[in-house]
Structure 1
Amino acid sequence: MNVPEEILLRTKDLEWVDKSLEGLSHKMLWRDEETGASIALVRFQQGAGIPSRHEHASNQFMYCLRGRYTYVPTGLTLTEGSFYWNPKGSAHGPTHADEESVLLEIYDGPHYPVQPSWYTNPDDAR
């Protein structure tokens, strides 16, 4: 059995990569190309957010490192130290960053059943 070596990323040394949705960038920390699972830091600039209701093809977990990030229809707001779980297939959104927000986002499989219309680059939906 071939076991990989330990890996350490210094997230402060990674560049933020802009996504095709204005105001959203990420630092990809890990991705399983076979399953679509991933772990990333995502940053929403103040006023940015996901523009419409949607669902995911896997479980989505988010931990708010800083900021204020709101799910508009329910008023549910992530603030520093909040943990959020959106189960596979559960529709949610739209969202809005009330201030710049940085979230640790984890998916246990592929992100979306189909590419959302707000992404013009298919890589942004994975």
Structure 2
Amino acid sequence: MFRFREILVQTGDLEWLDKTLAGLSHKPLWRNEETGASISLVRFTKGSGIPLRHSHASNQFMFCIAGRYTYTSTKLTLTPGSFYWNPKGCLHGPTLAEEDSVLLEFYDGPHYPTQPEWYSSESDTI
């Protein structure tokens, strides 16, 4: 018989893990190894962001907790309380953190179809 159990993660107890893109760190909260789906807190320091237009291999969802995070090509800006949905395959970016920004980010499958050039480590793509 399969048993479910509740899991509580105190995000304040987790360390921010730096990615190979300067100014970007994350706190992984959950991941389904079979599907690639995941939930993480991501943090961009002021002036950092994703440098190029790109798409994802699954749907991307973000909820802005703090800061101002802007998609520079469309001028769409996430501010505290904003919810963003980027459908699978939709080109978007580049981005710029106008302030230190923290986002709760969800993917319903793998992040990228191939490793983006701005990451020097494959582990940054999950």
TM-score range, shorter chain: over 0.9
Unaligned runs of 5+ in 1: none
Code of the aligned partner of 1:103 = L
2:38 match: 38
Unaligned runs of 5+ in 2: none
RMSD: 0.6
| Correspondences of 1:57-76 after superposition (within 5 Å) | 57-76=57-76
> Identity over aligned residues, as a percent?
69
Normalized per residue, the structure richer in strand is 1
Count residues with an aligned counterpart. 126
TM superposition outliers: structure 1 runs of 4+ over 3 Å: none
Specify the alignment match of 1:118 in structure 2: 118
1:23 is the counterpart of 2:11:
no
Post-superposition CA distance 1:31-84 (Å, at most 9, x none): 001100000000000000000000000000000000000000000000000000
TM-score (norm 1): 0.99
Q: State the TM-score, normalizing by the size of structure 2.
A: 0.99
- Give the whole-Å Cα distance in 2 for the aligned partners of 1:117 and 1:3: 42
Structure-2 separation of matches of 1:36 and 1:104: 17
Residue matched to 1:82: 82
C-alpha distance in structure 2 between counterparts of 1:2 and 1:117, whole Å: 42
C-alpha separation in 2, matches of 1:120 and 1:77: 27
Deviation (angstroms), 1:2: 1.4
